[in-house]
Amino acid sequence: MIVNKSVILISSLFHGGAEKCVSTFLGSLSELELESIDLILLYDNIFFEIPDKLNVIVLSNRKPPSNFLIKILDLIVFSFKLFRLSRKHKYKIVQSYLFYCNYINLFSRIWGAPHSVQVFNRSSISRYYTDKFADKLKLFLLKSLYRNADLILSNSLGVSFEIGKVVKNVELKVIHNIFDILLVEKKSLEEVSYSFDDDKEYIVIVARLINLKRHIDLFNAIKTLESKHKDIHVLCLGDGECKSFLMNEVVRLDLTEKITFLGAIKNPYPFFRRASIAVLCSEVEGFPNVLVEALINNCAVVSSNCKHGPAEILEDGKYGLLYSVGNIEELVGHLSELLTNRFLADKYQNIGKLRAKDFDISIIKPSLLRVLDI
């Protein structure tokens, strides 16, 4: 049994930006590097690819609970399981992803886990400043527990700045999301079951179908644009709790011929390559992978200027167009501009990959290896 390993702790590898980054990083490791790391999943749900030789530990064989109280009880149980594993295998570092696993990692220290605790934040905490009890509890846990971390990682400057305002005297570090550009380019050439129409101008949105992603803003913008731009067609990649509502809204807006829901797709890259424009409408983010994936595939980008990530990735509009969250008039203007001004569209399609290279595996991987001591 190999001891003194480093560990990545995450709920599952089922969809999500953090999950994709973990998959990309682990997939880049050599056999020797894989011997120095374990992957701990709360639930046995793997959508993204991981190396066959990676040691994977699953803490629960059941589905994630939806009940809030059960989640709290599970947090305590999972933290004790992590403590026991850490003591048994003498883990040197546990790097956890997303708030729930971060709390588990920090709680394990209360039990007496000997490992160094690294928590990786992937989204803005501003969404928790509400009157909801669950959100208040999340902020309380963050403020109470994060001060016990050895290292707080964030995937954007904005997320790190927010954390730094509420957690003092803990080392902060920014490591952007990781992308294997060569692999993305290769996968973008794969065949897909969807039949593209050469006479249509495609706009793609890749996001979970939840309220925070604000798909309805794009749908309303398309309603405004459809009379002038008759060839536009929106492809929605993703799934989620708002699917029925959004599909009903498409019917209500009489846009069934303009918008297609394709569900969750493991390889979205051919859709970016084929689309003219990629859109992000989110209310809040951390570092949206889809923007970089669009840039890699020479797709012009229009994004909400939400907290956090889009302005940082697009360098305040240098590599794509930004609009204020929820401002449909601005969104319509940017889309219309790209659809009518071929020179401008070509400019953004051609320069995007230059920016994407800043997040390539060759740049980001060494930073991850250093903090994990591999």
Predicted confidence at residue 132, as pLDDT, reads 87
Could you say which of 144, 175, 206 is where a domain stops? 175
Encoded amino acid at 179, one letter: F
Residue 173 contacts residue 151 (beta carbons within 8 Å): yes
Domain assignment of residue 27, given as a range: 6-175
Q: What is the pTM of this model?
A: 0.93
> How many structural domains compose the chain?
2
Residue 361 contacts residue 28 (beta carbons within 8 Å): yes
* Rounded Cα gap, residues 247 and 257, in angstroms: 12
CATH number for 219: 3.40.50.2000
- The pair of three-digit structure tokens given for residue 3, joined into one six-digit string: 């001891």
Same domain, 149 and 279: no
* Rounded Cα gap, residues 306 and 323, in angstroms: 9
Radius of gyration of the chain (CA): 21
- The pair of three-digit structure tokens given for residue 313, joined into one six-digit string: 């990735």
Could you say which of 175, 191, 213 is where a domain stops? 175
Kindly report, residue by residue over 8-54, the tens digit of the pLDDT: 999 999 878 999 999 999 999 999 999 999 999 999 999 899 999 99
Same domain, 219 and 249: yes
Could you say which of 151, 175, 199 is where a domain stops? 175
Query: Does residue 295 form part of some domain?
Result: yes
Residue 118 contacts residue 94 (beta carbons within 8 Å): yes
Query: Does residue 1 form part of some domain?
Result: no
| Residue 374: CB atoms within 10 Å | 17
**What are residue 177's phi and psi, to 5 degrees?**
-60, 150
Nearest to 145 by CA among 121, 161, 176, 127: 121
Band of pLDDT at residue 66, cut at 50, 70 and 90: confident
Query: Does residue 186 form part of some domain?
Result: yes
Q: For residue 207, is it left (φ>0), alpha (ψ between -120 and 50) or beta?
A: beta
Kindly report, residue by residue over 230-242, the tens digit of the pLDDT: 999 999 999 999 9
Mean pLDDT of the chain: 95
206-240 burial, b at 16+ Cβ within 10 Å, e below that, comes to: bbbbbebbbbbbbbbbbbbbbeebeebbbbbbbbb
| Residue 123: CB atoms within 10 Å | 26
**What are residue 284's phi and psi, to 5 degrees?**
-155, 145
Same domain, 133 and 187: no
Residue 144 contacts residue 325 (beta carbons within 8 Å): no
* Rounded Cα gap, residues 368 and 374, in angstroms: 9
Same domain, 258 and 277: yes
Band of pLDDT at residue 1, cut at 50, 70 and 90: low
Same domain, 297 and 193: yes
